[in-house]
Structure 1
Amino acid sequence: MTADDRFGDDLEQSRRERFLSGYQSEIVTDPVSDWATDFSHVDPAWAADPYPIQDDLRQRCPIAHTDRFGGAWLPTRYEDVSAIAYDTEHFTSRAIIVSNVRPPKELAPVGGAPPISSDPPFHHDARKLLLPAFTKTAVSRQEEGTRAFCHSLIDAFEGRDVVDAAREYAKHIPTRVIADMLGFPQEDSEKFGSFVENALENINASREERVERFTKLSDYLLAQIRDHIDNPRDDLTTYLLNAELQGRKLEPAHVLGTINLLLIAGIDTTWSSVGASLWHLAKTPADRERLVAEPELLPTAMEEFLRVYAPVTMARLVKEDMHWNGVDMKAEDWVLLPFPAANRDPAQFDRAGEVVIDREVNRHVAFGLGIHRCVGSHLARMELRVALEVWLERIPDFSLHDPEAVTWAASQVRGPRTLPLRIG
């Protein structure tokens, strides 16, 4: 069998069959009636502003439940989120995006997108493979190009007084960086945005519709992989094709799943963080003016933006029926891990609901907890810092053009999807 044969149509067919063999629950799209007993993290009210909901639940029902998605739990206290994130004995990571479809148990311990979908002991080695590409030294090599690219995006705003900072700035920065790291064509960037939205949003779509959307992404990735097999180069895709785990080259599904993870997670998290930070500064002139006057404060302020507007909520599946911290969880129940809620828990953070841009002690969990803490945190921090540095240097005066026109992603990665700003 040639290397090209390993990534043939049979790989995609097997992925489709495994997905279709998973359990599908009833699709419920009605508005939420009671957040404690009927929550939905894709409800428009949650997408628009989840924080008051989280604060209320933390006080009266710290671990909420819903029958939607076939049964799911939502802890809102830092201590509960942390406990679940570290507990690999009772919770599996084989599926980390809540939907109406649960992938079959046979996917464990690898999962569909290793290492984020992997359980111990497989997880350790799968994660270790990626670490060299995301060290501070490796990430620093991306900074000069990222800074120049940010300037070019702002150059394109010349002559305009209103721009969409989410679609025309924040989205493009991580897209360019991850495409460069994977060795994908920059001209395909518009496809990447739709891949992200199809993967993380639209979770109430039917299984067949979700399979169709994932197939489009897989087809694209397989084409890129085959091109790298024929034309090897110095990038992450070729690295994964040549990498070995326990003395053997990675399984094709592992390579495909990891590239899928790097593309989707590498774009949406930073897109959301940059957008949320600019949204805050646009609506908070005092913070914006202070950062323009004191640019040395930006690294500290950036960590506060990550805490208060943490974009990522992960998920786990319960392994077996159990009584956990006062609630009866059933095998295959989803458990959401809302790191944004943990970051706003008053029991963990002083003035938890406020944005304090000079907060000195800030042990936030925007990048997660436990074995699945974000492997790309250095990259995300660099992209966010450079994006804000360049914006504040070039556009020190900006505001919300129309607060009602701002829209937010309804998914487990939350950030502005449209952000019209008046500049200059």
Structure 2
Amino acid sequence: MAVDDRFTQFFREGRDDEPFGTRNEIITGPVADWATDFSHVEPEWAADPYPIQDDLRQRCPIAHTGRFGGGWLPTRYEDVAAIAYDTERFSSRSIIMSNFRPPRELAPVGGTPPISSDPPFHHDARKLLLPAFTKSAVATREAATRAFCHELIDAMEGQDVVDAAADYAQHIPMRVISDMLGFPPEDGPRFREFIENALEGVNLPPEERIERMGRLFDYLYAQIRDHVDHPRDDLTTYLINVELYGHKLAPDHVAGTMALLLIAGIDTTWSAIGASLWHLAKTPADRERLVAEPGLLPTAMEELLRVYAPVTMARLVKEDMRWNGVDMKADDWVLLSFPAANRDPAQFDRADEVVIDREVNRHVAFGLGIHRCVGSHLARMELRVALEVWLERIPAFTLADPEAVTWAAGQVRGPRTLPLRVG
């Protein structure tokens, strides 16, 4: 089965009333002023976005850009929260800000339901996934996750310097998600390619983006066919057989949800694990305290999620409107920076500090509103187990070369290379 025509349309069409190219041009390069020309794909944003966000929060809390056809970046917690909860004026039909927009006809389902879905469809599509992500369901995966983390560290034996991102953090969610979906574990390297194409290739020419996303969906449809022929007890077989409104899900719904779980379920957790290890490597006092007080880890983990929240989501403005002092146009992008919201001093005391014993911590690393992360229990389990095993096996580690650490550009930020000196 080739890529579904409706999904291909997702990439081929721009605004309903404008030809391709008018609001879909490719624009990269140095930023003149982050208040009027921001770009979340520039290297300085990937390297350290927090000073930029802090500056904007003070002088221009809802920044604008003409890039990607026009978009907005709120940096205050209250603005991010207001938009996240406002499904009447903001659509989720595309949650990745790129150089082209999906057609409005894709709403309310979107290409990757339920995260791309608007009400009322969203509620019912999301409800289908809940049983697989309850605390009890997640708990059944902890032992295998822990054993795999030990295997990864066993493979590092004898090395003085290891890449904690490439050799550890990325593999953990890859294995967990592939097991959930019933994919061959040896396909893990392909998942990384799919993730980078979806999240870091947002400024590629549309034809190339279509071709790259086509490879992902060809893979997913092949997995669906294999599961139809050979059903087993996994999430893919469940999605094939489950009913919504009295009918089985359409193949593009199944494939879109699988794409969501594969891409979002891997990169976000991979980034959170890597960022946490980066912080502990450069902050010996926090590392030593967690080694001495392992019971503090769940509290510390929430603080690391707050300070290094990896995920920014996008929305599309439904109609022209005046919103909190700015004139938003229909189909303008809005980037919901949960990392910026988590560092708003109006919401958090000592917002820019890592306080690993912070007791009151209502962070929004997993989002807000109807699209709050359905896999938060799973992500927390993976992060906790990954850190527990690492600190147990490698209690002493430092950054081998701070300048060699690289970070992903785009809407999911985490270390891509993280050389650590161990022992």
The equivalent residue for 2:69 is 70
Deviates further, 260-269 or 13-22? 13-22
The equivalent residue for 1:379 is 378
The equivalent residue for 2:261 is 262
The equivalent residue for 2:164 is 165
| Count of residue pairs brought into register by the alignment | 416
Partner of 1:28: helix, strand, or coil?
Answer: coil
CA distance in 1, matches of 2:413, 2:65: 20
CA distance in 1, matches of 2:282, 2:397: 9
TM-score for both structures, normalised by structure 2: 0.97
CA distance in 2, matches of 1:312, 1:356: 20
Structure 1: which 4+ aligned runs deviate by more than 3 Å? none
The equivalent residue for 2:146 is 147
CA contact (8 A) 2:61 2:74 kept: yes
CA drift of 1:19 comes to: 2.2
CA distance in 1, matches of 2:225, 2:278: 40
Code of the aligned partner of 1:46: W
- Is 1:19 aligned to residue 11 of structure 2? yes
- Is 1:110 aligned to residue 102 of structure 2? no
Partner of 1:222: helix, strand, or coil?
Answer: helix
The equivalent residue for 1:5 is none
The equivalent residue for 1:4 is none
CA distance in 1, matches of 2:268, 2:379: 8
Code of the aligned partner of 1:233: R
CA distance in 2, matches of 1:12, 1:236: 21
Code of the aligned partner of 1:79: E
CA distance in 2, matches of 1:228, 1:284: 46
CA drift of 1:15 comes to: 2.4
Please give the residue correspondences for 1:232-243 in structure 2 after superposition, counting only pairs within 5 Å: 232-243=231-242
The equivalent residue for 1:31 is 30
Deviates further, 17-26 or 125-134? 17-26
CA distance in 2, matches of 1:75, 1:21: 27
Please give the residue correspondences for 1:18-417 in structure 2 after superposition, counting only pairs within 5 Å: 18-23=10-15, 24=20, 25-417=24-416
Partner of 1:36: helix, strand, or coil?
Answer: helix
CA drift of 1:12 comes to: 2.6
Over 3 Å counting, the alpha-carbon distance change for 1:18 and 1:411 in structure 2 is closer
Partner of 2:63: helix, strand, or coil?
Answer: strand
CA distance in 2, matches of 1:16, 1:85: 27
Please give the per-residue CA displacement for 1:56-110, whole angstroms capped at 9, x wherever unaligned.
0000000000000000000000000000000000000000000011000000000
Identity %: 79
Code of the aligned partner of 2:8: R
TM-score for both structures, normalised by structure 1: 0.97
Please give the per-residue CA displacement for 1:242-291, whole angstroms capped at 9, x wherever unaligned.
01111111111111100000000110000000000000000000000000
CA drift of 1:18 comes to: 4.1
Aligned Cα RMSD in Å?
Answer: 0.7
CA distance in 1, matches of 2:10, 2:72: 25
Code of the aligned partner of 1:303: E
CA distance in 1, matches of 2:109, 2:28: 31
Code of the aligned partner of 2:170: K
CA contact (8 A) 2:76 2:344 kept: yes
Please give the per-residue CA displacement for 1:321-346, whole angstroms capped at 9, x wherever unaligned.
00000000000000000000000000
Partner of 1:102: helix, strand, or coil?
Answer: coil
CA contact (8 A) 2:10 2:111 kept: no
CA distance in 2, matches of 1:55, 1:18: 35
Code of the aligned partner of 1:285: P
Structure 1 unaligned segments of length 5 or more: list them. Answer: 1-7
Code of the aligned partner of 2:7: R
CA distance in 2, matches of 1:14, 1:75: 32
CA distance in 2, matches of 1:282, 1:156: 20
CA distance in 2, matches of 1:400, 1:113: 37
Please give the per-residue CA displacement for 1:183-208, whole angstroms capped at 9, x wherever unaligned.
00000000001110110002111111
Code of the aligned partner of 1:189: G
Please give the per-residue CA displacement for 1:154-211, whole angstroms capped at 9, x wherever unaligned.
0001111000000000000000000000000000000001110110002111111110
CA distance in 2, matches of 1:60, 1:358: 31
Partner of 1:356: helix, strand, or coil?
Answer: coil
CA distance in 1, matches of 2:61, 2:10: 35
Partner of 1:348: helix, strand, or coil?
Answer: coil
CA distance in 1, matches of 2:164, 2:158: 15
Structure 2 unaligned segments of length 5 or more: list them. Answer: none
CA distance in 2, matches of 1:292, 1:197: 34
